[in-house]
Amino acid sequence: MSFKVRQATIHDLDIVAPLFDAYRQFYGKPADLELARRFLHDRCQHHESVLFLALDEQGQGMGFTQLYPLFSSVRAERTYLLNDLFVAPQARRHGVAAALLHEAADFARAIGAVGMSLSTAHANLPAQRLYESLGWKLDEHFREYNLTF
């Protein structure tokens, strides 16, 4: 299966939004393509995230990843949160996720970020194996907490 990965722009919303909607459904949210499109539009319009898109030879979306800029106060450096990674079911097991992760890491390195972080469900073993195969390390020093409003 042949594909290419590139940074997405606001002009790619019609391709990325259905993938983002499917990603949200994977995590138990109801289908809402308009919400997905609006959310991505706002992130792009305000330069609040960086999207990478995998496309097949016909220009159809196969997967995406989304990075959010963060800063490490202790290191006094920029980092990125890889918050979203999704590959359409028919495109899985063809290297799309790995290619998206490589592209995201190359981007972060190129602009001088000192690292990237991500979180995944404890039960998402396939993703964990992929991350570890690409050099991602499980943080054994810090425990993550969330405060939901």
Domain boundaries, the chain: 3-133
Mean pLDDT, contiguous 10-residue spans, the chain (149 residues): 95 97 96 98 97 97 97 93 96 96 97 94 90 93 83
48 exposure class (CB count in 10 Å sphere: 0-12, 13-18, 19+): exposed
**CATH number at 3-133:** 3.40.630.30
Cβ neighbours around 102 below 10 Å, total? 14
Whole-prediction pTM: 0.92
Q: Give me the pLDDT at residue 45, please.
A: 96
